């Protein structure tokens, strides 16, 4: 019953996001400067009748509410509109590029988590100040470098560009994961297990990981958002034809229909990931705080 | 205060003074072009060399530092104030206001930060003056950066709302503004300070990312982002880029050292 309720809440939340996002997209596009102006209308050679014919041929000239309602209806039919810059359907552009971003994000999330676990787990089993200081130093250093600069540095030295994603996700995951795991390791039942002489590996697997798992799962949901953020910089700098690069090109070309629809879809994807993580962990995420 | 924190304060203070008097220290304005010395290497005259347009890199680096050290804290102050208002009201009033604010915060937090910044930057005019572009960039950061602090502040206020000392204050006849100003605000101060300090490095990094993507501060005004962008065309790792990276790392590390230890957890 609880799972059904959570699922219903998730669907409602996604629908509200789509509705609000669609409204904001339509409103911003409709109110943007130059909306509905055809380049041909600026041609002084055309007479009044030709200009009127051009204006009549443009359905976008409708009022604010009519445009917004039509946009919302089209959105819920799966029609994401036409890109002004590429003169192509937005859905087609997204379809061409989402795989590149998905692959980059998978590398980033898996790599970032692997690095974080490499630094966190040994210090739980065999606590070492040197190892902790090394981990804190590496993650602190990476936190202080903008992901775009990191991508640029690795690109200049012809390093593995995809590794930037992992390096961008790692420090953020590490900070939370270390806190969650350390908190779980300090619980009285873990101390009792240590006193009883249970092996460190067994303590980790049976006494620490299960306690930290719900929050770690919630963190996994949040790392999708982190990876999306890093993907923009990596795709732009390293020339990966993904959604981040598409958003950047749309921003430079002021292609608002594409950019805002893309932002809304990324938000939906992030919300979905967060909600799934919450459902799997069985509790609302507190990591985002 | 630990020795490291004292050093961090001293370093930031010295850097801030140096950045304020950048023209005098470098001997030239950040926009002045030495047309006879384009792409010059390090020398006594130009400690970090000049860029392709003959502008002194040291002057530009110090001016960029001034922009970051002045405007990032200003943006952090604004976003913390907005977060206090939204989070504080939500936590204190509870009920419908709390539910609406929580939904809005959740929505803002699920938006990937850089996507939101790019979209917001694209909606604003691109052909603005350099001074306007720098103010716009940091104003955007301030306007969009309130959600995470608001969540923490809301949680803090909600905990305090049901606390014994507030109950006693109410019982003694302390209500309304007096209750907020005398009881709530002083107890919330550590949380607000932590959120303020946490926001500064975040805004500096975001501005650098935007600048590197060409959507930040417009030329000829320098920023750490557009100084690092030189790497795209100059792969030789000139001293200006190394100094810019090192300075940014040092400043962000100092801000991290100054964070209250509770906010790191």
B13-31 confidence digits (pLDDT tens): 999 998 888 888 878 888 8
pLDDT tens sequence for chain B (265 residues): 688 888 989 999 999 998 888 888 878 888 888 888 787 778 888 888 888 888 888 888 898 999 888 899 999 999 999 999 999 888 888 888 888 888 888 778 777 777 777 777 777 766 677 788 888 888 888 888 888 889 888 888 888 888 888 888 888 888 777 888 888 888 888 889 888 988 999 899 888 888 888 877 777 888 888 888 877 776 666 777 888 888 888 998 888 888 766 555 4
CB-based contact B61:B54 (threshold 8 Å): no
In sequence order, the β-bridge partners of residue B55 are B33
CA distance A228 to B119: 14
Q: Do B155 and A20 touch (CB under 8 A)?
A: no
In this complex, is the C-beta atom of B201 within 8 Å of any C-beta atom belonging to chain A?
Answer: yes
Structure tokens given for A103:
């692959």
Q: Considering only CB atoms, which chain B residues are within 8 Å of A17?
A: 107
Structure tokens given for B87:
């989070």
Residues near B7 by Cβ (< 8 Å), separated by ≥ 6? none
Q: Do B118 and A248 touch (CB under 8 A)?
A: yes
**Cis link prior to B84 (omega < 30° from 0)?**
no
Q: Do A288 and B215 touch (CB under 8 A)?
A: no
Q: Considering only CB atoms, which chain A residues are within 8 Å of B256?
A: 140, 143-144
Tell me phi and psi for residue A273, to 5 degrees: -60, -45
CA distance B192 to B13: 22
Distance from CA of B152 to the nearest CA of A (A): 6
In this complex, is the C-beta atom of B205 within 8 Å of any C-beta atom belonging to chain A?
Answer: yes
Q: Considering only CB atoms, which chain B residues are within 8 Å of A16?
A: 103
Widest Cα–Cα separation across chain A: 93
Q: How many CB pairs under 8 A join A and B?
A: 121
**Closest residue in A to B235 (Cα–Cα):** A156
Q: Do A228 and B115 touch (CB under 8 A)?
A: yes
Q: Considering only CB atoms, which chain A residues are within 8 Å of B243?
A: none
CB-based contact B100:A230 (threshold 8 Å): no
Which of B113, B151, B228 is closest, CB to CB, to A289? B151
Q: Do B215 and A274 touch (CB under 8 A)?
A: no
Q: What is the pTM of this model?
A: 0.81
Q: Do A250 and B113 touch (CB under 8 A)?
A: no
**Closest residue in B to A158 (Cα–Cα):** B235
ipTM of the complex as predicted? 0.78
CB-based contact A185:A124 (threshold 8 Å): yes
Tell me phi and psi for residue B56, to 5 degrees: -65, 120
Q: Considering only CB atoms, which chain A residues are within 8 Å of B213?
A: 148, 232-233, 236, 248
Distance from CA of B29 to the nearest CA of A (A): 26
Q: Considering only CB atoms, which chain B residues are within 8 Å of A146?
A: 205, 208-209, 212, 225, 228
Q: Do B119 and A247 touch (CB under 8 A)?
A: yes
List pLDDT tens digits, range A201-255.
Answer: 888 888 888 888 888 888 888 888 888 888 888 888 888 898 888 888 888 887 7
């Amino acid at each position: 019953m609880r799972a059904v309720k959570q699922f219903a809440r998730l669907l409602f939340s996604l629908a509200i996001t789509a509705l609000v996002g669609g409204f904001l997209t339509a409103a911003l596009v409709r109110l943007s400067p130059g909306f509905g102006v055809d380049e041909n209308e600026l041609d002084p050679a055309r007479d009044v009748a030709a200009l009127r014919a051009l204006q009549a041929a443009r359905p976008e000239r409708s009022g604010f509410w009519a445009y917004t309602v039509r946009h919302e209806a089209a959105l819920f039919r799966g029609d994401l509109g036409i890109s002004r810059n590429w003169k192509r359907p937005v859905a087609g552009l997204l379809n061409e590029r989402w795989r590149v971003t998905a692959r980059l994000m998978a590398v980033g999330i898996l790599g970032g988590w692997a690095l974080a676990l490499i630094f966190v787990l040994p210090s739980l089993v065999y606590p070492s100040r040197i190892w902790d200081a090394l981990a804190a130093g590496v993650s602190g250093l990476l936190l202080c470098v903008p992901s775009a600069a990191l991508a640029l540095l690795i690109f200049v030295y012809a390093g593995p560009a995809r590794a930037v994603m992992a390096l961008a996700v790692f420090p953020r995951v590490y900070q939370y994961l270390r806190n969650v795991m350390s908190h779980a390791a300090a619980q009285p039942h873990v101390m009792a297990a240590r006193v009883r002489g249970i092996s460190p590996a067994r303590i980790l697997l049976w006494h620490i990981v299960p306690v930290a798992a719900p929050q770690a799962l919630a963190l996994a949901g949040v790392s999708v958002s982190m990876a999306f953020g890093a993907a923009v910089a990596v795709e732009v700098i390293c020339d990966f034809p993904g959604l981040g690069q598409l958003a950047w090109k749309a921003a430079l070309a002021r292609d608002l229909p594409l950019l805002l629809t893309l932002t809304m879809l990324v938000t939906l994807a992030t919300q979905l990931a967060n909600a799934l993580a919450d459902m799997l962990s069985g509790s609302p995420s507190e990591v985002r705080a | 205060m630990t020795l490291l924190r004292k050093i961090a304060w001293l370093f930031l203070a010295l850097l801030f003074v140096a950045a304020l008097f950048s023209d005098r220290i470098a001997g030239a304005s950040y926009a002045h072009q030495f047309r006879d010395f384009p792409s010059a290497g390090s020398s006594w005259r130009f400690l970090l060399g000049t860029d392709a347009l003959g502008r002194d890199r040291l002057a530009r680096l110090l001016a960029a530092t001034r922009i970051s050290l002045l405007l990032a804290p200003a943006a952090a102050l604004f976003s913390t104030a907005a977060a206090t208002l939204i989070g504080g009201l939500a936590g204190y009033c509870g009920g419908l206001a709390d539910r609406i604010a929580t939904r809005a915060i959740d929505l803002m937090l699920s938006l990937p930060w850089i996507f939101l910044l790019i979209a917001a930057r694209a909606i604003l005019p691109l052909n603005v003056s350099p001074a306007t572009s720098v103010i716009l960039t940091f104003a955007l950061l301030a306007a969009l950066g309130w959600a995470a602090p608001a969540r923490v502040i809301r949680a803090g206020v909600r905990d305090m709302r049901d606390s014994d000392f507030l109950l006693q204050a109410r019982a003694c006849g302390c209500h309304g503004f007096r209750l907020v100003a005398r009881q709530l605000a002083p107890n919330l101060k550590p949380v607000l300070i932590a959120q303020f300090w946490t926001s500064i490095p975040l805004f500096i990094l975001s501005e650098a990312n935007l600048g590197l993507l060409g959507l930040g501060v417009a030329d000829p005004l320098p920023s750490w982002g557009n100084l690092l962008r030189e790497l795209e065309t100059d792969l030789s790792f000139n001293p200006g880029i190394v100094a810019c990276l090192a300075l940014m790392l040092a400043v962000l590390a100092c801000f991290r050292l100054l964070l209250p230890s509770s906010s790191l957890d």
